[in-house]
Structure formats: C-alpha cells, structure tokens
C-alpha cells in the first residue's frame, strides 16, 4: 500500500505517463514469492498425538511439487519427535532433530529458492518420529506445483 501511495504521488508530480513506468519498477512482472507465475500454491498439514505425524505436499500428474517451508510443533511430551524427515526431494531426504518438552517445542525451516521433488508426480512428505507422551504434534508445510 505504501509503495502504491508513493507511486501515485510521484505520478502526480511527473505526469500520468510516468505512473505505468514507476509501477512496473515497484511491482515488476516475474516470479511470485513462491516461484514462477504458472503455479498452484499448496499446503500439506497434519496433526496427531503419540504416533508419527506426516504432512504431505501431494503429487499431481505431469507436475512437479516444490516445498518452500515447513513447521513442526509438539507439546505435552518429553520424548523426541525427531528425527524429522523431509522426503521426496531432488537429491536426497533432509533430516532434522527436535526434542519435545512439556511446555512445547517447535522447529521451522524455509527454503529459498523452493526445493523441487525428485521427479514429476512425486509427493514431498514431512514425517515426525512418534512421541509416546505428546498431547499434540502438528506438521504444517507449504509449497507449489508447476
């Protein structure tokens, strides 16, 4: 909004023809925050308690799934919910550690640029280890398909 107000103010000073040029510089065409313009933004969220929890960015025929970030949180337990495995990625899986706490614990990871699946029509999963003492474990992930 602030950029738009500045652009309008400058257009008033320099003429309407400058507005289009200025807006193109302030909001250039091109990739969005997630990636290319021809995309579908997706999420893969799941909740559980004492068992393993899996968040899945689903596969789609003839499209590649990309992961841009994820978060795992756990509360009410003292056992580990790690390792947390992000699978289906190009190259190999990524593994992270998280120990749970009665007062809660969380881990967040964002990828820039977003990471593609190993092939088209391949899901990306974020899987926790079972925490036999947790009262809640949540997996949230986001990305896009192209």
- Does residue 50 sit within a domain? yes
Helix (H) or strand (E) holding 5: helix 2-14
Sign of CA dihedral 60, 66, 69, 72: positive
Q: What is the pLDDT of residues 112-127, one digit of tens each?
A: 999 999 999 999 999 9
- For residue range 29-69, what is the model confidence (pLDDT) as tens digits? 344 555 556 689 999 999 998 899 999 999 999 999 999 99
Does residue 120 fall inside a structural domain?
Answer: yes
Cα–Cα distances in angstroms (integers) from residue 51 to residues 34, 76, 77, in the given order: 31, 14, 12
Q: Report yes or no on 65 lying in a domain.
A: yes
46 and 16 co-located in one domain: no
CA distance 60 to 145: 8
Is the predicted pLDDT of residue 18 greater than 50, yes or no?
Answer: no
Residue in 130, 20, 126, 3 with CA at minimum distance from that of residue 69: 126
User: Domain range holding 25?
Assistant: 1-30
Q: Between these two residues, 110 and 130, which has the higher pLDDT value?
A: 110
Question: What's the CATH code of the domain at 141?
Answer: 2.60.120
Residue 36: partners with Cβ closer than 8 Å, 6 or more residues away: 146
pLDDT single digits (tens) 61-90: 999 999 999 999 999 878 888 899 999 999
């Amino acid at each position: 909004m602030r950029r738009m107000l500045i652009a309008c103010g400058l257009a008033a000073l320099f003429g309407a023809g400058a507005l289009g040029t200025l807006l193109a510089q302030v909001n250039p065409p091109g990739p969005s925050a997630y990636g290319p313009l021809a995309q579908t933004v997706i999420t893969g969220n799941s909740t559980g308690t004492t068992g393993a929890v899996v968040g899945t960015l689903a596969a789609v025929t003839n499209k590649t799934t990309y992961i841009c970030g994820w978060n795992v949180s756990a509360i009410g337990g003292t056992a580990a919910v790690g390792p947390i495995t992000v699978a289906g990625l190009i190259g190999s899986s990524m593994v992270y550690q998280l120990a749970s706490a009665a007062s809660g614990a969380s881990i967040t990871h964002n990828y820039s640029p977003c990471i593609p699946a190993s092939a088209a029509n391949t899901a990306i999963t974020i899987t926790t280890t079972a925490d036999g003492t947790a009262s809640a474990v949540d997996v949230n992930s986001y990305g896009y398909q192209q």
